């Protein structure tokens, strides 16, 4: 990501030196790039989490799936995982 590259360039241009005391990069070209983080408000974050939570009988249906059907899916797709199941 650009954030990681920006951190790497800052490290190489300001924090590190070769055996002669010179930094590895003479200038930080990534300094000119501006990063804009997307701001998500609490309501939008709550909506995202609400969509991930089990609602009504979803939890019971998921447990039924694990108890009855998941075994057969594993047996068909991955015998290694099936052995641990």
Structural domain boundaries in the chain: 1-37, 40-80
- Residue 6 confidence (pLDDT): 92
Q: How far apart are CA 5 and CA 64, in angstroms?
A: 46
- Residue 45 confidence (pLDDT): 87
Nearest CA-CA partner of 33 in 53, 4, 73, 66: 4
pTM: 0.42
Burial 29-42 (b: 16+ CB within 10 A, else e): ebeeeeeeeeeeee
Residues of the chain with pLDDT under 70: none
Contact 33, 2 (CB under 8 A): yes
- Residue 76 confidence (pLDDT): 84
């Amino acid at each position: 990501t650009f954030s990681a590259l920006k951190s790497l360039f800052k490290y190489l241009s300001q924090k590190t030196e070769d055996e002669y005391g010179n930094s590895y990069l003479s200038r930080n070209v990534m300094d000119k790039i501006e990063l804009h983080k997307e701001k998500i408000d609490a309501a939008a974050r709550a909506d995202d989490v609400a969509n991930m939570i089990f609602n009504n009988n979803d939890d019971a249906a998921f447990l039924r799936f694990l108890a009855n059907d998941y075994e057969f899916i594993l047996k068909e797709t991955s015998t290694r995982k099936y052995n641990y199941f």
